[in-house]
């Protein structure tokens, strides 16, 4: 298996139905990045997201136990995601890229790489 076990497990979970303002987490190799939904297509198969500003609030340094405060970043680029046949949210025109989990924000940096 490649990457973080937690990210691989969460990629296979069914996301919640998208709503504007709801959090989204990008599952990278072993890191995670927080976004917010800014628009939802009426059929619910496409959403537009914008990266949040994630500010670390703990003092644990290079630790896996990380805590963040999230705020919208209205100057960030807007990305379009689509729901694929397997029920995963993927970047439009990039089906093999990161998977996005709708329903929560989570920022995490894996310092072991």
For 25, the enclosing helix (H) or strand (E) is strand 23-27
> 99-102 and 23-27: which strand pairing?
antiparallel
Q: What is the pLDDT of residue 113?
A: 66
107 and 20 Cβ atoms separated by less than 8 Å: no
Q: What is the pLDDT of residue 95?
A: 57
Q: Is residue 111 part of a domain?
A: no
Q: What are residue 5's phi and psi, to 5 degrees?
A: -60, -45
Q: What is the pLDDT of residue 15?
A: 63
Q: Is residue 69 part of a domain?
A: yes
Residues 82 and 53: their CA atoms lie apart, in Å, by 23
Q: Is residue 107 part of a domain?
A: no
Q: What is the pLDDT of residue 105?
A: 94
Q: Is residue 109 part of a domain?
A: no
Q: What is the pLDDT of residue 97?
A: 77
Q: Is residue 110 part of a domain?
A: no
Kindly give the confidence (pLDDT) of every residue in the chain, 113 residues in length, as a single tens digit, with 9 standing for 90 and above.
344 445 444 445 556 789 999 999 999 888 999 999 999 999 989 999 999 999 999 998 887 889 999 999 999 999 999 998 888 899 987 756 788 999 999 999 888 86
Q: List CB contacts of 2: < 8 A, sequence separation 6 or more.
A: 8, 29
Q: Is residue 16 part of a domain?
A: yes
CA of 45: how far to CAs of 30, 75, 84, 86, 94, in Å? 26, 25, 8, 12, 15
Domain that holds residue 10: 5-102
**pTM reported for the whole predicted model:** 0.81
Q: Is residue 113 part of a domain?
A: no
Q: How many domains does the chain contain in total?
A: 1
Q: What is the pLDDT of residue 45?
A: 93
């Amino acid at each position: 298996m490649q990457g973080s076990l937690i990210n691989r497990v969460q990629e296979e979970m069914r996301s919640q139905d998208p709503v504007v303002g709801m959090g989204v987490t990008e599952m990278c190799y072993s890191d995670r990045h927080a976004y917010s939904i800014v628009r939802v297509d009426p059929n619910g198969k496409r959403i537009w997201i914008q990266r949040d500003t994630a500010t670390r609030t703990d003092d644990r340094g290079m630790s896996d136990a990380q805590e963040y405060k999230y705020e919208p970043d209205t100057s960030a680029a807007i990305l379009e995601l689509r729901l694929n046949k397997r029920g995963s949210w993927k970047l439009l025109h990039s089906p093999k890229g990161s998977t996005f989990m709708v329903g929560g924000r989570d920022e995490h940096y894996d310092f072991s790489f």
